[in-house]
Amino acid sequence: MELLVPRWFTDVVLRGHPFRVRITTTTAKVTYILAWVIVGLGLNVLLLRLGATRWPQYLITSAYTGATLIVGVRTFRGHDELLTPPRAWWRATGGWVSSLGAGTLFAALGATCWWATATGALPSTTPFTNPLVAASCLAAAAYYIHSGWRLARHGDVAIGAGHDRDGAHERHP
């Protein structure tokens, strides 16, 4: 059985593992992130229209955000990264610059959400006043910054959990 994934979305589906997709193209990564944001905002609007109170809404949207972040971290691959082995637990991106960039963006978003929640500067119906989103963004920022620090310290080597020492793993072009 072959997984039906458009070629523009991913150029790698590991042989023998139809559900272990590696997202390697810039187009696919941008599409994934845009879909994450659009679906997240749609979920938030739907929950508000269904009359969800604040904490159930916070928990559902935070669970969606966390799950989407974990799937993205586990499936995205940098241009020099090994495709077959899973990433080390601490490795968030293909390189230290992208890790520090993502960490900075998550820190700014987390700080903005925390400020909006603490001051009441925005209506409580916006996703920016969700204290769980603020905490999640700050935790993601710490994870990405830690990843960038370790990648910079290791020189961006292609490290994976269970790295095959004989170099038999495939790299994408």
| Helix/strand/coil percent split, the chain, to 5 | 55, 5, 40
Rounded to a whole number of angstroms, the distance between the first and last alpha carbons of the chain is 25
The CA distance from 10 to 170, in Å, is 15
Has residue 104 got a pLDDT over 90? yes
Average pLDDT over residues 78-82: 79
Q: Which of 71-75, 126-130, 155-159 has the lowest mean pLDDT?
A: 155-159
Residue-by-residue DSSP string for 12-70: EE-TT-TT-EEB-SHHHHHHHHHHHHHHHHHHHHHHHHTT--HHHHHHHHHHHHHHHHH
pLDDT of residue 145: 95
Nearest to 117 by CA among 54, 64, 161: 54
pLDDT higher than threshold 70 for residue 4? no
DSSP designation for 101: H
Is the Cβ–Cβ distance between 37 and 49 less than 8 Å?
no
**Higher-pLDDT residue of 3, 119:** 119
Residue with tokens 């603490």: 118
Domain limits, the chain: 12-154
**pLDDT above 60 for 168:** no
Look at 62 and 173; give whichever has higher pLDDT: 62
pLDDT band at 171 (very low <50, low <70, confident <90, very high): very low
